[in-house]
Structure 1
Amino acid sequence: MIRIILKEIIIITALTEIAQSLLISKTQIKCESYDHKRCTKENKCDVEEVLCPNDSEKPHVTSSCYVVWSLDELGAPGNISMKGCFTDNAECNQPECIARNIKPNGIIFCCCKGSFCNRNYTYIPTPTTPPSTSPKEPAGDNNILYFLIAFLILIALIIVFCFGLCLYRRKKQGAFNEIPTIEPDVANSSPNLAPRPIHLIEMKARGRFGSVWHGRLRNQDVAVKIFFAQEKDSYNTELEIFKLPRMRHPNILEFIAAEKHFEKIPQEYWLITAYHTYGSLCDYLKAHTITWFELCKIAETMARGLMHLHEEIPSTNPDNYKPAVAHRDFKSKNVLLKSDLTACIADFGLAMIFQPGQPCGDTHGQVGTRRYMAPEVLEGAINFTRDAFLRIDVYACGLVLWEMVSRCNIHNGLVSEYTLPFETELGLHPTLNEMQENVVMKKIRPRICEVWRTHSGLSAICDTMEECWDHDAEARLSSSCVMERISQHTRYPTTPLLIETNTDTTFRDS
C-alpha cells in the first residue's frame, strides 16, 4: 500500500514538473540580439538569436524584444545600435516594433511582444492634432487686419531707420565734414571759417591721383581735390608744400583746409582750395584764343608764380624761412586761370622741397608728364641738385609758353587749332622711347610759325621759350629771368614789324 502511494506521489510530481515546463515554454520568447560595441571590439558583427529569460519572481510576465537605431541621411531606418530582450513590459504590448518619437540625441527606440518581433522595425511619427472644425471668422476681415498691422510695423521701422541714419550722418559730418578739420600747425588756413560741411556739386576732373570737385562752403565756391587711399603720399606732399611759411601768393593756388575721411571705404584725403571757374590753362586754350594783352598777363603771372615757388626766402626766424621748391610736373593742366585771367600754379603732389644743407634724398628722377619731361629726365641723367630740378621746371615752362603763343590771335585770326607740345610730331600718346628718340637724340622741339616772328613781342617770347627748352640744362634761363623778360614784353609795339615775309602760316624747326 505504501509503495502504491509513493508511486502515485512520484507520478503526480513528474506531471507537475512537465506542466510547469510546458507553461515556461509558452511564456519564453526568442529575440534577435546585436551590439555594435561588441562588433567593434570583438569583430562579432552577426545578428544572433537568443532565448529571453523570464523573471523567476514574475513567471506570468513574458519578455519582449527591442531595437535601438537611428535614421540615415534619407530618413530610412539604418545604423542599428542594439537589439535584444527587454523585460519591462509596460510599453511593449504591441506585436510589431514601431517607434513614434525620436530622442533629442537622434536615437530611436521601439519594443514589441513576440518571438523575433524585433527582426523588422520602423519609425512612424505621431500624427499631429487634426485642425479644429469649429466655425472660423471670415477670412477677409482677418487678412485686412493682418495687412494693417504689418503696414504699421513697416512704417514704424522706416521712421526709426531714417531717424538713426540722420543721427549717424550728423555725427559723421561733425567728425569729418566740417571746416576746418585740419592739423593745428597748418598756418595758411583761414581763421574765420566756422564749422560747416562741404557740399560737393560737380566733378570737374579725374586723374591718376583721384578727382577734383566743385564744392560749396558757407555760400562760397571751393575746389575739393579728393585723393585715393593709394595716393596718400601725394596728399601728404602737397599738404606739406601748402604748410610751408610764406607760401601764400597771388599766383599760387590758395589753400583753405585739409580733411581725412576715414569713415569712407576706401579712405579718402581731401584738399580744399580756392575755386576758379575758367579751370586750367590747357582747357581754356582749347576753347579760346587769346589776345596779345591776355597772353602777356597769363604768361607774366604764371612765371611770377613759378619764380616764387623756386625762390628761397631767408629769414632770421626759422618759422618764416621759405625753402626753394621744384614743382616736377609743370604743365598747362597745372596752371589755373582766375576770373581776371591771371594765373596761379597748382598740383604739388610731386613737388620737392630743398632744405639748406640737406641732400635731395633717395628720389626717383623720372617723374612727371612724359611730353613735358626735359631731355635729362628722359635720358635718366639728372644731376640731383636743387638747380638741376629747377631747370627741369623751366624747360616745361618753355613748352607752356609755346602753347599760349600758338593760340594768340594777334595776326587777324590766323590761329591754328590747339595742340599739345609734340602732338603734331608724336601724336596724343607718345611712348617713352619715342620721346627719347625725338627730344634727346634728334633734339626736336615744337615748331615755331614764321608769322610769329613778324610781331616783335611774340618774337621776343619765342626767343625766351627757346632759351627755356635749351638742350643744355645749364644754358636755360632761371624762372626769375623768364618773369623779367615777359614783363618787359608789354612795352613792345602791338603792330607787326615791317619785314618781308610770306603771309602763309609756315613752320620751322627750332
Structure 2
Amino acid sequence: MMKYTLIQVVFILLTTTTIVISEENNNENPIALLVNNDQPKVNITCLCTDDEECDQNSHTCRLTESYHTCYASWALEQSDGLVHYTAGCMHNEYLFTRLMCSLNKTDRYIICCSQRNECNDLDAYSKEIRQALLSPLSPNILASHQPPNSYSTLIIIIITSTLGVLVCIGVFIIIYIKQKGLINNRAAFHTKKFAYVDDNKKQNLFQRFLKCFYCRDRLSRINDGCIPSDQSLTGLLDELSTSTMGPALPLLMQRTLAREITLEEVVGAGRYGSVHRGKWREDHVAVKIFSANDERSWFREIEIYQTVCLRHENLLGYIAADNMDASTYTQLWLVTEYHENGSLYDYLMTHTITIPTLIKMMLSIASGLCHLHMPIDSTNGKVALAHRDLKTKNILVKKDLSCCIADLGLAVKEVRCKPKSRKDLLLANASDQEHVVIDIQANNRVGTIRYMAPEVLDGTLNDRNFESFKAADIYALGLVYWEILRRCQISSTENDAEKYQVPYEDVSQGNPNADQMRDIVCVKKHRPPISERWTTHPIVRPLVQLCEELWIEDPTCRLNSLNIKKQLKKQLELLENDLSYINIESQQQSTQNNGPWTA
C-alpha cells in the first residue's frame, strides 16, 4: 500500500511541475500558442493553398480522422532562394504525421494544429519565420524563451520537485529492502517443505526464468529504438516481423537502423531518384533515395508498405524509412532488402533460362500479384491493392531465381468502410452496410506507356471500380510473361532462346508516346508475336495460351491473379512429374547485347 502511495506522490509532483512550466511557456511565448496541444478533433476545416489538395471550388480542406492535422509550412527553396508558404491538411498515418510535424530544419518550418477551424490561417509573410529561414546561422528567433522574471519561480519549482522525488525514492528503496528480507526469510522456511523431483526440473525452471528476463530486457531495448550489437538483419526481421504487422520494425528502430547504413555503389536510377547498395553491419541492403520534388511518392510508398499483412516472400521486403540531412538539402531514404541479381529486365538481358526456371519465375510473380490483389477480411485484415506499374524493371530476381515485385509508389488501395458497431449495422440499409473507397494518391508520375492496358490508353477504364485496376495489372503481367518466354531455352541440345526485347519493339522502337501506343494496341489490335517453337512444346504451349488470355482486349474476360497462380502451380506439378526435366541444369549464359532503350 505504501508503494502505491509513493508512486501517487511522485506523479502529482511531476504533473504539477509540468502544468506550471506549460502555463509559463504559453503565457510568455506567443509562438508556442501556434502549436496544438489540445486533444485532436475531427471535422475541422483547414486553410488550403492552391498547390495542395483542397475541397472542390474552395480554399479549405477537412480533417476526417482524429490523427489528421492542419498544417502551415514555410520552406526555403534552393532553386530560387525564396521562402514558399503552403497550408493544407495532412492525411497521412499517425506516426508519419507526428514525424513531419516535428521536422523543423534549417530549410523548413512547419506548424501543425487541429483545435479549431482554420487554425493554420497564419501570417504567410511572417517576418520572424522568414528571417530565421533566410539566416540559418543567426540565433533562432523562433525558439521558445522565458522572461527574466520567470526564472526564479521555475528554479524553485524544479529544486522542490527534485528533492521531493529523491526523498520518495529513498523511502521506497528502504521499504523494498525490508520487504525483500522478509520474503527471503519465508522462502528459507518453506524450502524445507519443498523439493524438486530431480535436478533437471530445477534447471528447466532456471532456464525459463533466464529466458523471461532476456525477453523483457530485449523488449525494453526495442521500445527505446536500440538494436543489439550482435544482431543480424535477417534475425532482426524474423524476430520482429509478423503476418499481422505492416512495418517489420518499430519506427524508432527504423531510424536507428537507417542512420547506421553506409552507402556503396549506385545500382539503379530512374525518374524518382537513385538506388544504392548499402551495408548495415555485415548485411547488404538496398537504399532508394528519392529526389526532393518527389516527396509525395516517398510518402505514398511508405504508406503502402505500412499496410497490415502486406509482407510476402514475393513482394520486396521493406525494412526502414528516414529523411537524412545532406548539407544543403534533405534526402528521402527507403530501405529494402537487397537482391544482387537486380531487376528481371537486367537479368533477362544477360541470361537465358530453362523451363523449370521459367515456370518458377512466372509462378512467383503471380503469387506476389495475387497477394497484392486479394483482400484479407479479419480483425487485422489486409486491403486489396493494385500495382499500376508492373513491368520487368519493377520485378527483382532473388538468389534462388524466384522473383519479387517492387516499386509500390503508384499502387492504389481498395478501402472497405464498415459500420463501427452492431447498432449501426442494424440501422443501415443493405446498400450502405459496406462503403468502398478507392484510395488513389495524387502523383505526377504515370505508369509505363508500353505496359498500359487498352482501356487505360483509350481512357475507358472505370476508375470507380477497383476490379478495373486489377485487370490492368493482369494485362501488364501477360507482357512480362512474354518477355520471360523469349529468353527460355527449350531445346536440350542448343541455346534456342531469342534475343531480349521489350513488348511491341517489333512495331515501335524508341520511346513511344501514348497516342502511338493507342494506335498500335487499340486501333490495330496488335499484340506481341508468338514464336513457333513455343507452340510445339507440350510444357510451353499452355503458357503461351495463358499469355494470350491475359492481354485480351476486354478486361472482364481476363483471368484473375488467383486463377493464374493455380494454373502455374498445376504446370509446375506436371513438370516435376516429368523426370526428363529434373536433371536439366540451369542455363545462365551471358549474351552480347547492346541493350534496348528504356521502356
Give the TM bin, normalised by the shorter chain. Answer: 0.5 to 0.7
**Correspondence for 1:257:** 320
Please report how far the alpha carbon of residue 189 of structure 1 lies from its aligned counterpart in structure 2 after TM superposition.
2.7
What RMSD in Å do the two structures reach over aligned CA positions? 2.5
Distance in structure 1 (CA, Å) of the matches to 2:328 and 2:462: 41
C-alpha displacement at 1:363, in angstroms? 6.6
Paired position in structure 1 for 2:451: 372
Q: Which amino acid aligns with 2:409?
A: G
> Share of identical aligned residues, percent?
40
**Partner residue of 1:271 out of 334, 356, 361:** 334
CA–CA distance in structure 2, aligned partners of residues 222 and 271 of structure 1: 10
Map Cα deviations across residues 130-160 of structure 1 (whole Å, 9 max, x no partner). Answer: xxxxxxxxxxxxxxxxxxxxxxxxxxxxxxx
2:248 is matched with which residue?
A: 189
What is the alpha-carbon distance in structure 1 between the residues aligned to residue 376 and residue 436 of structure 2? 16
Match of 1:399 in 2: 479
- Tell me the CA shift for residue 268 of structure 1: 1.8
Structure 2 equivalent of residue 437 of structure 1: 519
TM-superposed CA distance for 1:236, in Å, is 1.0
Aligned counterpart, 1:282: 345
Q: How many Å separate the matches in 2 of 1:265 and 1:296? A: 49
Cα deviations by residue, 1:230-286 (Å, 9 ceiling, x for unpaired): 111111111111101111110111111001124553322111000000011111000
Equivalent position of 2:374 in the other structure? 311
Deviation larger for 486-495 or 267-276: 486-495
Q: Quote the residue 2:436 is aligned against.
A: 358
Q: What is the SS of the residue equivalent to 1:461?
A: helix
Q: CA deviation at 1:405?
A: 0.5
1:243/1:362 Cα in 2 relative to 1: closer, same or farther (>3 Å)? closer
Equivalent pair of 2:550/2:558 in contact (CA under 8 Å)? yes
Deviation at 1:187, TM superposition (A): 4.2
Q: Distance in 2 between matches of 1:340 and 1:361?
A: 35
Map 1:125-274; keep pairs closer than 5 Å.
Answer: 187-190=246-249, 195=257, 197-274=260-337
Is 1:326–1:352's contact at 8 Å kept on the other side of the alignment? yes
CA–CA separation in structure 1 for the residues paired with 2:549 and 2:442: 26
Following TM superposition, by how much is the alpha carbon of 1:362 offset from its aligned partner in structure 2, in angstroms? Answer: 6.8
Q: Does 1:344 align with 2:404?
A: yes
Runs of 4+ in 1 over 4 A off after TM superposition: 191-196, 361-366, 493-496
Indicate conservation of the 8 Å contact 1:334/1:345, yes or no. Answer: yes
CA distance 1:322–1:428, shift in 2 (3 Å): same
Determine helix, strand or coil for the equivalent of 2:248: coil
How many residues were matched structurally?
Answer: 313
Counterparts in 2 of 1:379 and 1:328: CA distance versus 1, 3 Å: same
Output the CA distance in 1 between the equivalents of 2:276 and 2:367. Answer: 27
Shift of 1:491: 3.6
Q: Give the distance between the partners of 2:457 and 2:405, measured in 1 at CA.
A: 24
Question: Which residue is 2:182 aligned to?
Answer: none
AA aligned opposite 2:393 = K
Normalising by structure 1, report the TM-score.
0.58
Which residue in the other structure is 1:321 paired with? 381
> Partners in 2 of 1:264 and 1:426 — Cα distance?
44
Q: Which has the higher mean CA deviation after the structures are superposed, 203-212 or 404-413? A: 404-413
CA contact 1:295–1:405 (8 Å) conserved in 2:
yes
The 3 A distance-change label for structure 1 pair 362 and 295 is: closer
Query: In 2, are the aligned partners of 1:456 and 1:492 still within 8 Å (CA)?
Result: no
Hey, which of these two has a bigger chunk of helix by percent?
2
Q: Deviations over 1:422-448 (max 9, x none)?
A: 112211312222101010111111001
Larger radius of gyration: 1
Task: Give the aligned partner of residue 499 of structure 2.
Answer: 417
Unaligned runs of 5+ in 1: 1-177, 497-510
- Using the TM superposition, give the Cα deviation of residue 413 of structure 1 relative to its aligned residue in structure 2, in angstroms: 1.4
TM norm structure 2: 0.50
AA aligned opposite 1:287: T
- 1:360, distance to aligned residue in structure 2 (A): 2.4
Question: 513, 528, 536: which one pairs with 1:454?
Answer: 536
Match of 2:125 in 1: none
The aligned residue for residue 465 of structure 1 is 547
| Separation of aligned partners in 1, 2:411 and 2:345 | 20
